[in-house]
């Protein structure tokens, strides 16, 4: 079974239930299914068949999910590349996947001017009017029954963020998507009868698979940390969604401007710092959860704000890192010695388990599970990050440093590759953000020295900061107007763009 069949079942069982709410209107499950069939007929006429790759440049919208279902009905492979990652990375993505069909909104076709790779895609389809391009417009049509697929049939290709290296193509099978959907439904406690504010494409898909209603915010989701909150707050007042799942930067923008009417708030995709959790708590009576994961494994761990103890906050202030909670039941997690930049050192599962670090010792976080990516599209990318034991179980090296405490909770310390001498970045950055004048902090190295860059909330006020961080033995604390952040979530420090002098 694939997810398109699940959506078709919802269209049969609850045809008039609202699937998606956007600023433009509402779409029922029946309407989503009819849209999907219409797209599938067009794609089929354009030669899409089992294994065909279809590049989709569509925002989170009814058209995106209808297109995904249409591709999967034909046993094709959907390709999603984020243009916001920059034109060089976008061109790399098209080269790596070599799609046979490109389908996008009118604006996305302007990328053909900047990408020879995109111009070379044989078939171009637009959801609006674009000269010399096939236009999709919904028309009455017969239903298309989904092709039979097995768990290993390719379904979706997306890309890693590329924040530490060139983006890798993550190839997901139908079995992977179903396992991820199950893990996310459990982690997010999805209630089919509720409305859920969704800012992340994978979460929207999970809501639809559960038969719920997804509310798409009236905002530019490509820059979640810079949204205009007022239109979204109006949507919240009107629709009263039960939950939100979003980048911490997105929820922070809303919380700075108004009360949050949710029953539960899930923040992830980037580190969720204590000051953000406190802000969300002040602005809402919701249960608040931080979710840790990555492109290759989402989710990995979850932490309820209500279960963070005063001593946990004290540990975060004193350099232990960032508490991210208990690993989800669907995943196995180990902490291994940090061997960043080196090949995986273990030849047998016994050697692997013997190397596992005990609680309170910091190393690299390694995971396995049905929703953990087993291979990149280009298998050469597996060499440093994947290891398969003699039983065929594949483990993924996250590249993140952390440790488990005596209660089995995971503490995150940042990227292994961002370590400065004996310090991992989160040990200092999380502690620094406890200073009342610090908005954001970033630890880096310069000529063997430990430098902490600080972005202030207002006027520069370093009083007491050096004393707070005396245990870190910093060489210098420097001010920066704005600490560079990742483009996808606007919440993770982009260490490569920090000043080098």
For residue 209, what are its two tokens?
Answer: 């698979």
Residue 375: its pLDDT value, please?
Answer: 93
Side-chain-side CA neighbours of 434 within 13 Å: the count stands at: 20
Among residues 223, 278, 213, which one has the least CA distance to residue 246?
223
For the chain, residues classed under CATH 3.30.300.30 are 420-497
Neighbouring CB atoms inside 10 A of 270's CB total: 24
> In whole angstroms, how far apart are CA 38 and each of 15, 77, 128?
17, 18, 15
Number of residues that make up the chain: 501
H-helix or E-strand containing 352?
Answer: helix 349-355
Helix, strand counts (H, E) of the chain: 14, 24
Residue 149: count of CB within 10 angstroms of its CB: 19
What is the location of CATH 3.40.50.12780 in the chain?
3-174
Angle at alpha carbon of residue 12, lines to 39 and 24, rounded to 5°: 55
CA–CA gap between residue 229 and residue 239 (Å, rounded):
15
Per DSSP, the three-state class of 159 is strand
Residue 396, strand partner residues? 367, 386
Is the bond preceding 299 in cis, omega lying within 30 degrees of 0?
A: yes
d(CA 184, CA 330): 10
Helix, strand, coil shares, percent, the chain, to 5: 35, 25, 40
Nearest in space to 398 (alpha carbons), one of 478, 353, 467, 332:
332
Helix (H, G, I), strand (E, B) or coil at 262: coil
Residue range 3-174 forms a domain whose CATH class is: alpha beta
Residues in a beta bridge with 26 = 21
Report the DSSP pairing between strands 394-404 and 297-304.
Answer: unpaired
Cα-based distances in Å from 208 to 65, 261, 316, 336: 9, 22, 37, 37
Cα gap 250→489, rounded to integer Å: 8
Question: 134-135 and 123-126: which strand pairing?
Answer: parallel
The radius of gyration of the chain from alpha carbons, rounded to an integer in Å, stands at: 23
pLDDT at position 475, please? 93
Q: Which 3 state secondary structure label does DSSP give 108? A: helix
- Closest by CA position to 408, among listed 322, 352, 325: 325
pLDDT, residue 300, reads: 98
In a structure prediction context, what are the per-residue pLDDT tens digits for the chain, which is 501 residues long? 789 999 999 999 999 999 999 999 999 999 999 999 999 999 999 999 999 999 999 999 999 999 999 999 999 999 999 988 889 999 999 999 999 999 999 999 999 999 999 999 999 999 999 998 999 998 889 999 999 999 999 999 999 876 556 889 999 999 999 999 999 999 999 988 889 999 999 999 999 999 999 999 999 998 888 999 999 999 999 999 999 999 999 999 999 999 999 999 999 988 999 999 999 999 999 999 999 999 999 999 999 999 999 999 999 999 999 999 999 999 999 999 999 889 888 989 999 999 999 999 999 999 999 999 999 999 988 988 999 999 899 999 999 999 999 999 999 999 999 999 889 999 999 999 999 999 999 999 877 789 999 999 999 999 999 999 999 999 999 999 999 988 777 788 988 888 876
pLDDT value at residue 491: 81
DSSP state of 157: E
Confirm if 289 and 186 have CB atoms less than 8 A apart.
no
**Any idea what the Cα angle at residue 480 is, between residues 475 and 483, rounded to 5°?**
105
**Nearest CA among 246, 311, 251, 301 for reference residue 281:** 251
SS (H, E, C) 384-403: CCEEECCCCCEEEEEEEEEE
Write down the pLDDT at residue 253: 95
> Which residue blocks in 424-464 are alpha helix, DSSP H?
425-432
Alpha helices, DSSP H only, in 120-199?
A: 174-187
Write down the pLDDT at residue 132: 87
Distance CA 101, CA 217 (A): 29
What pLDDT score does 91 carry? 95
Q: Enter the DSSP assignment of 163.
A: S
SS3 250: helix
- N-terminal to C-terminal alpha carbon distance within the chain: 55
Options 3.40.190.10, 3.20.20.140, 3.10.310.40, 3.30.300.30; CATH for 420-497 is 3.30.300.30
Instruction: Report residue 46 as tokens.
Output: 């354009």
- DSSP E strands, 169-296: 169-173, 195-198, 213-215, 243-246, 264-268, 287-294
Tokens of 451: 């430098």
Q: Which one, of 115, 130, 94, 108, lies nearest residue 58 by Cα? A: 108
């Amino acid at each position: 079974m694939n997810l398109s069949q699940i959506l078709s079942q919802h269209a049969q069982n609850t045809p008039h239930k609202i699937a998606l709410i956007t600023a433009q209107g509402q779409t029922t499950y029946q309407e989503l299914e009819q849209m999907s069939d219409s797209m599938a007929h067009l794609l089929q006429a354009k030669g899409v068949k089992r294994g065909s790759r279809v590049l989709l440049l569509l925002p989170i919208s009814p058209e995106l999910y209808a297109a995904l279902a249409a591709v999967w009905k034909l046993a094709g492979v959907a390709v999603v590349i984020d243009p916001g990652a920059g034109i060089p990375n976008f061109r790399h993505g098209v080269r790596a996947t070599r799609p046979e069909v490109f389908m996008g909104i009118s604006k996305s076709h302007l990328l053909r001017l900047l990408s020879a790779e995109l111009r070379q895609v044989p078939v171009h389809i637009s959801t609006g009017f674009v000269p010399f391009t096939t236009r999709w417009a919904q028309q009455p049509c017969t239903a298309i029954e989904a092709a039979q697929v097995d768990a290993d049939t390719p379904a979706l290709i997306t890309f890693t963020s590329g924040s530490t290296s060139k983006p890798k193509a993550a190839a997901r099978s139908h079995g992977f998507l179903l396992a991820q959907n199950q893990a996310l439904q459990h982690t997010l406690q999805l209630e089919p009868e509720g409305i859920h504010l969704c800012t992340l494409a994978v979460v929207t898909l999970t809501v639809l698979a559960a038969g719920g209603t997804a509310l798409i915010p009236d905002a530019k989701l490509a820059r979640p940390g810079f949204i205009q909150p007022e239109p979204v707050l109006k949507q919240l007042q009107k629709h009263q969604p039960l939950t939100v799942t979003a980048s911490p930067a997105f929820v922070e923008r809303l919380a700075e401007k108004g009360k949050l009417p949710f029953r539960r708030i899930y923040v992830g995709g980037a580190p969720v710092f204590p000051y953000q959790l406190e802000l969300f708590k002040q602005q809402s009576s919701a249960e608040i959860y931080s979710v840790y994961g990555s492109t290759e494994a989402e989710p990995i761990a979850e932490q309820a704000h209500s279960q963070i103890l005063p001593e946990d906050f004290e540990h975060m202030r004193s350099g232990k890192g960032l508490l991210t909670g208990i690993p989800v039941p669907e995943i196995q997690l180990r902490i291994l010695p940090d061997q960043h930049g080196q090949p995986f050192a273990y030849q047998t599962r016994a050697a692997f388990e013997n190397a596992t670090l005990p609680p309170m010792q910091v190393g690299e976080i390694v995971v396995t599970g049905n929703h953990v990516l087993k291979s990149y599209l280009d298998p050469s990318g597996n060499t440093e990050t994947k290891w398969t034991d003699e039983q065929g179980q594949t483990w993924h090296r996250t590249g993140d440093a952390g440790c488990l405490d005596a209660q089995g909770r995971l503490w995150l310390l940042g990227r292994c590759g961002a370590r400065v001498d004996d310090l991992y970045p989160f040990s200092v950055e999380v502690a620094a953000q406890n200073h009342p004048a610090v908005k954001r902090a970033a630890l880096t190295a310069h000529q063997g020295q430990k430098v902490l860059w600080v972005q202030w909330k207002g006027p520069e006020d370093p009083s007491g900061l050096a004393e707070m961080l005396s245990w870190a033995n910093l060489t210098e604390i420097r001010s920066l107007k704005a600490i560079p952040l990742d483009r996808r979530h606007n919440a993770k420090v982009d260490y490569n763009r920090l000043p080098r002098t």
